[in-house]
Amino acid sequence: MPALVLLGAQWGDEGKGKATDLLGGSVDYVVRYQGGNNAGHTVVVGDQKYALHLLPSGILSPGCVPVIGNGVVVDPAVLFSELSALGERGIDTSKLLVSGNAHLITPYHTTMDKVTERFLGSRRIGTTGRGIGPAYADKINRVGIRVQDLYDESILTQKVEAALDFKNQLLAKLYNRRAIEAGRIVEELLKYAAELRPYVADTTLVLNRAVDEGKVVLFEGGQGTLLDIDHGTYPFVTSSNATAGGACTGSGVGPTKIDRVIGILKAYTTRVGSGPFPTELFDDDGEALRRIGGERGVTTGRDRRCGWFDAVIARYATRVNGLTDFFLTKLDVLTGWERVPVCVAYEIDGKRVEELPYNQSDFHHAKPVYEYLPGWSEDISKAKTFADLPKNAQGYVKALEDMSGAPISAIGVGPGRTETIEINSFI
Ligand code: IMP
């Protein structure tokens, strides 16, 4: 099973790091294909906890080549700070490959992200403030700076000047801020050029060869399906394709070479930032999910909004990603509820709707229709097989599987690396 995509089936933060790391030992390449350091993976290895934002989580597996694909936006300052933090903890990071076509996040992208959010006021997206949107906007506007530009100073200078031309007008005239000097940015970017050089590669070639040789290549999505720029809750989304198609465009590996697409699905729902969220809870249950689930953003430190499981969203994720499997995470967090509500459909203007409405206004008005499943109180963190789970937990998993449209092949029952039930092997 050489090429697999692993992505968030909800609004991100489903626990992808754990899933990737679980596979890490058998995976030859782990590829990030979109997003940047807006992502946040927490990976627990033994008694060590690692929080990664930009680097693929496969960097923690000794035999694995971590790859930053062309679809990623790279903040070089963050890249080197993550690399040196791992180096200090004895992790070998020398195998990392970075696409020469990946775009760079520069200090002016971060500035633009922050000033734009401030300008939007109550209409703000609630971005992570890491410059992700402005870097992708420059890429689409064809004024982006790519990793390969670091190796031609004259080209780099011309490109930075072109990119700043318009932004400086905006900064000075609209946002009342000081203009940014191109020379200072070029100087700062060039500081990273030599150090970055050993990692820079034609990753498309490397990855296609790896797939052709039957190596196991894992494409690791950042964010989640409903944060996808095309298929998410636009405009409350990130600026890249977090869905399965992004794995192809963001790596240069074609869709016929992908064998399996695994959606990571939390046993309840969370999101950070603004935007619609039909099953969001504002009561003690929401607070309990946040506390028990440790629902605080790895990247921003913001409390996550919490709610019950939404099967409409899970079905949508199955559809737009062509999911072959789910990895259900954090089932243990639901231990202790007498009954667990699950949203099976929405009510919109008095009508029952089974599928995610494509019209944004409808989605904003969607009210969850709940079914109540019997809960369980036993500790499930030691369960090794599906049969070890209490009957009601088994029933909950089976019900989610039936509603979501793809088999649940693994279940997370605790934060540790071994606290996972594998039902069908992914590889
Ligand atoms: P941006 O990606 O920083 O532009 O933020 C756009 C939206 O995506 C905001 O609502 C963020 O909170 C959200 N977002 C970005 N990255 C993540 C993530 O890794 N997990 C969950 N939400 C994210």
> What separation in Å is there between the alpha carbon of 273 and the centre of ligand 1?
7
In the predicted structure, residue 1 carries a pLDDT above the cut 70: no
Query: Higher-confidence residue: 44 or 223?
Result: 223
Residue 69 beta carbon below 6 angstroms from any ligand 1 atom: no
CB distance 242 to 228 below 8 Å: yes
What does pTM read for this prediction?
0.95
Tell whether the model's pLDDT for residue 66 goes beyond 70.
yes
Cα 342–Cα 348–Cα 350 angle in degrees, nearest 5: 105
Between 45 and 247, where is the model more confident?
A: 247
Residue nearest to atom 5 of ligand 1 (CA): 127
Q: What is the CA radius of gyration of the chain?
A: 22
Residues 139-164 pLDDT 10s:
999 999 999 999 999 999 999 999 99
Residue bearing the CA closest to ligand 1, atom 12: 273
Spell 149-163 as b/e; 16+ CB within 10 A means b.
Answer: bbeeeeebbebbeeb
Residue 41 · residue 298 · CB < 8 Å:
yes
Measured CA to CA in angstroms, residue 93 lies from 198, 212, 221, 329, 352 at distances of: 12, 25, 20, 28, 52
Q: Say yes or no: CB of residue 127 within 6 Å of ligand 1.
A: yes
Q: What's the 287 CA to ligand 1 centre distance in angstroms?
A: 21
Instruction: State the Cα angle at 427 between 58 and 30, rounded to 5°.
Output: 20
Whether 403 contacts 328, CB under 8 Å = no
* Higher-confidence position of 416 and 204: 204
* Residue 314 reports pLDDT greater than 70: yes
**Residues marked as catalytic:** 13, 41, 139
- The reply to whether ligand 1 has any atom less than 6 angstroms from the CB of 34 is no
Q: What percentage of the chain exceeds 70 in pLDDT?
A: 99
How do residues 316-338 score in pLDDT, each as one tens digit? Answer: 999 999 999 999 999 999 999 99
Domains and CATH numbers, the chain: 3-90+202-422 (3.90.170.10), 103-197 (1.10.300.10)
Q: What is the pLDDT of residue 21?
A: 63
Question: Higher pLDDT residue, 301 or 139?
Answer: 139
Q: Is 76 in the pocket of ligand 1 (CB under 6 A)?
A: no
Q: What is the DSSP string of 126-186?
A: ---SSSHHHHHHHHHTT---BGGGGG-HHHHHHHHHHHHHHHHHIIIIIS--PPPPHHHHH
Among 60-64, 196-200, 237-241, the range scoring the smallest mean pLDDT is: 60-64
Q: Residue 361: what residue type?
A: S
220: which DSSP letter? E
Question: For residue 61, what pLDDT band results from cuts at 50, 70 and 90?
Answer: confident
> Average pLDDT over the chain, rounded to whole?
94
Ligand 1: atom nearest CA of 8 is 20
Query: Which of 38-42, 66-70, 360-364, 371-375 has the lowest average pLDDT?
Result: 38-42
Q: How confident is the model at residue 245 (pLDDT cuts 50, 70, 90)?
A: very high
> Mind listing the pLDDT tens digit for each residue in 343-392?
999 999 999 999 999 999 999 999 999 999 999 999 999 999 999 999 99
416: Cβ contacts below 8 Å, ≥ 6 apart: 44
